[in-house]
Amino acid sequence: MIGTIVNTCTIIVGSIVGAAMNRGIKEKYKETIYTGLGLACLGIGLNAVISNFSKSEYPVLFIVSIAIGSVIGTALNLNGRFADIINRRSKGNRNNNLADGLSTAILLYCIGPLAMLGPVISALKGDNTFLYTNATLDLVTSAVFARTYGIWMILAAPVLFCWQGMFYLVAKVSSTAISDALMAELLIVGGLMIVASGLSLLKLKDCKTLNMLPSLLVPVVWFLVKSLICS
């Protein structure tokens, strides 16, 4: 777990440094950063989808996952509930886009080959190279996000710890539970969610990305059912 702990700490440090630099930034420069972050999300998300699409054993699964997951998330109003919680926690914060920024940051930190494969490799082989590399990237990214949205971006750190901790523990319990095929499907769905966040940051379409969060569970359920049927 040392790699995950380091990764979590870099987000905390980056958020503190970025928040300290946040003072005095004019609104026009913040808008420029929003645009840059939106374009970065589009690039990262599309790369995750395209690079993993050829590895998919079920090319239609991501469509079903997004559709079912979005319906469930909308019914539960995950996006609205999250925004309400963040707004209550950050009373007095002048940045109305905080909830969108935090949800985007969480997706960028948690969805990606380094963030998802890293804890698995750490658990199975004791190699933290992926996680240390991801920690370096997250240090810079968290500073940029905190400089734009403020100190509350630090809340992404415990989310990352729980996310990577889950992959680590599952891999420790069963080395075959997280297959390459399942990882590919999760990265495709997650990549689409990052693209959706990018569209929201660019103000092209409010995709309410958090309502898509249950989509990540659909591939897991599919592979679980498949393994039970085949066993």
Confidence of residue 73 (pLDDT cuts 50, 70, 90): very high
User: What total number of domains does the chain contain?
Assistant: 1
d(CA 201, CA 181): 31
Confidence of residue 132 (pLDDT cuts 50, 70, 90): very high
Q: What is the reported pTM?
A: 0.79
3-state secondary structure of 170: helix
pLDDT tens sequence across 156-197: 999 999 999 998 998 888 777 788 888 899 889 988 988 998
Radius of gyration of the chain (CA): 18
Q: What is the DSSP string of 192-215?
A: HHHHHHHHHHTTS----GGGGGGG
pLDDT tens sequence across 94-104: 455 777 888 88
Domain with 121, as residue range(s), is 2-230
Judge contact between 114 and 137, C-beta under 8 A: yes
